[in-house]
Amino acid sequence: MTMQLGAGRPNGLHGTIRVPGDKSISHRGLMLGAISTGTTVLHHFLTAADCLSTLNALKQLGVDIARDADTVTVRGNGRHGLHAADQPLDMGNAGTATRLLAGLLAGQPFNSTLIGDASLSQRPMTRVERPLAQLGAQLELTDGHLPMQITGQPLHAATVQLAVASAQVKSAVLLAGLFADQPTTVIEKLPTRDHTERLINAFGGRVTTARDRRTITLDPNNQLSGQTLTVPGDVSSAAFFLTAASIVPNSHVRLEKVGLNPTRTGILTVLQRMGGHVTVTPRENPGEPLGDLDVRFAKLRPIQLGAADIPAVIDELPLVALLAATADGISEVSGAQELRVKETDRINTIVTELKKLGVAITEKTDGFIIDGRQTWQPTGQPFASHGDHRIGMMMAIATQRLDQPTTLTGEKAIGISYPTFWQDLDRLRNGAGVLA
């Protein structure tokens, strides 16, 4: 499908929005609710395709889940209450859901099969199979990919050293560890998002993180109990409008109640280092940090990012590229080879799409180099999401700086994480609730 994009450059983006709930927290809230005793209520749950894949999979595993708009009620089955599904669990496009469920299902007294769409079926699954095997799990992959057959097994204690900096893999091990006989320790390469650790503790479990921020220990001997939570706005969704307001002259946008977990806010650090105009107003919130973000147009400086910077900004690297494409100098991103195994090979799709804008960008094996001083000269080719939600949204934001209308193919992918993206963009283009 192809979509006509906008009527050209707006006179700035203006107004206040509340972005949908955090994808990572929505997945985890459902899974922990499912294995808790009692009821879990998730307000501001992300009702996007990826999280609905998790919701449907858990229903197939015998969990009673009701949804009313963005409020979800999970009647937990308790730690030993999941049942075998009678069909393979179709995880759609959702990498996080697949890897986390692999961990959750590894220690169940029944077998499961996970399948997914064409993109998910090409993403590496050995990264969960190997560490879970150290706990005694039995996962059979298809040439390293989905379909995945899980033969449920009793799991035992282990100390697992991870080969990739991945919160999905860490979380798979921790969720499996909930069903092991003794404490599980995970040692990360670099600290990654810690929502699983925070949520297990919020549900009454016990996870501790050592001072090095990389060594995490889970004690399985606590019963989890249902919770009522409000999911913070997804900072990865807010990042599209942080970027839009930063690069479209005359903009002033406020994003309310955004999750500000420090393992996720690399984009704020990047914007601050680039000379962006962002003000953070924290709000009181138990569990996950939360706040409002005010952002205005700014003339940006270039930036250099290396491996240690990447986990906190992993999903926002397409936007870092876009910001760099407007900066007054040469930016470089290195150590980001994980981008090659996302919903698309994002190094390649970022480079392909930004080249269509006329951006001076060079592909590296582990990142890219961008000279932002060159004026954009769009080639006129239609932009494409390549079936990747974040690439589609990156290009929709980029075109806000163009005078001429453009087209985007594969726009449907945006519903994977941000179903109300176009409404929010229109609202800001039309200056809803203009700010001073």
The residue among 15, 21, 89, 23 whose CA lies nearest residue 389 is 23
Q: Are 361 and 355 in contact (CB under 8 A)?
A: yes
Number of residues that bind ligand S3P (CB under 6 A): 10
314 contributes a contact to ligand S3P by CB under 6 A: yes
Among the listed ranges 69-77, 145-153, 160-168, 223-231, the one in contact with ligand S3P (CB under 6 A) is 160-168
* Residues 6+ positions from 426 with CB-CB distance below 8 Å: none
Near ligand S3P by CB under 6 A: residue from 26, 36, 53, 96: 96
- Catalytic residue positions, numbered: 315
Q: Is 26 in the site for ligand S3P (CB under 6 A)?
A: no
Single residue of 167, 200, 255, 295 touching ligand S3P by CB under 6 A: 167
Per-residue contact track with ligand S3P, 128 to 157, x per CB under 6 A?
------------------------------
Among 14, 193, 356, 429, binds ligand S3P (CB under 6 A): 193
- What's the full length of the chain, in residues? 436
Q: Is 386 in the site for ligand S3P (CB under 6 A)?
A: no
3-state class of 26 per DSSP?
helix
Query: Within 13 Å and on the Cβ side, how many CA atoms surround 167?
Result: 23
Structural tokens at position 142: 């298809």
Closer CB to ligand S3P, 29 or 276, in the complex = 29
Q: How far apart are CA 202 and CA 18, in angstroms?
A: 24
What are the DSSP calls for 118-154, one per residue?
Answer: TTGGGS--HHHHHHHHTTT-EEEEETTEEEEEEE---
CA-to-CA separations, 208 to 217, 226, 260, 371, in angstroms, rounded: 5, 20, 20, 43
Annotated binding site, which residues? 23-24, 28, 95, 123, 166, 168, 315, 342, 346, 390
Residue 339 interacting with ligand S3P (CB under 6 A): no
Closest separation in Å from C-beta 193 to ligand S3P: 6
Q: Does 53 bind ligand S3P (CB under 6 A)?
A: no
| Smaller CB separation from ligand S3P, 338 or 353 | 338
Binding interface with ligand S3P (CB under 6 A): 24, 96, 166-168, 171, 193, 314-315, 338
